[in-house]
Amino acid sequence: MPHRPERLLRALPWAGLVLLFAGCASAPSVAPPPVVDRSPAREPAPPPPAAPPRELPPAAPPTARGLPPPATPRSLDELRRQAAQRIVAAQPGAVYDGPPPEPLLAVPVLKVELHADGSVRRIEVLREPRQAKDTIQTAIDAVRRAAPFGDMSRLPRPWVFNETFLFNAERRFKLLTLER
């Protein structure tokens, strides 16, 4: 039978393909037998401890509610004066009356940059007090609560004003702009 090796050579590639496809098939899944617990009944395990509550970042102070719409300032000096009046009006309980005490608790100075619509674009701290550092955030929040400060589009750029906060020992403030 001289034709036998030739037939074997022709069948060899087909046998290889069959083996290749057979190797790709997934193995039959056999479920493991169920485990039967024959130990005496136990109390259920306590639930895992709850995750600690996540700390949320401090919320931005609310904007000026109850304040009249801001007037359109005609000059940068008028902007500064109106802004100071608006800051005081936005939080009357945080402002003290009378002359500034000697010595003051803290004197932070802020540079406030505005958008054309009078909303706060950026606040920069120009002077940090040596003590009572928390007064810086109080001053920043006071400015944000009083915003917006009116239509700036008719004023020359930059739409910036500085404000000096004079804090007393009770952490209530007065604005230097209104003291002049």
The set of residues, in sequence order, having a beta carbon less than 8 Å from that of 155 and lying 6+ positions away, is 73, 74, 75, 76, 79
**0.75 exceeded by the pTM?**
no
pLDDT tens for the 180 residues of the chain, in order:
455 667 656 665 666 555 555 555 555 556 566 655 565 556 666 665 555 544 444 444 444 567 899 999 999 999 999 999 999 999 989 999 999 999 999 999 999 999 999 999 999 999 999 999 999 999 999 999 999 999 999 999 999 999 999 999 999 999 999 987
Domain membership of residue 153 (yes or no) is yes
The boundaries of the domain holding residue 104 are 76-179
Cβ(101)–Cβ(166) under 8 Å? no
Domain membership of residue 172 (yes or no) is yes
Q: Domain with 117 in it: what CATH number?
A: 3.30.1150
Please tell me the total count of domains within the chain: 1
Dist CA 175 CA 81 (whole Å): 10
Going along the chain, which residue ranges are E strands? 109-114, 120-127, 160-167, 173-175
Domain membership of residue 38 (yes or no) is no
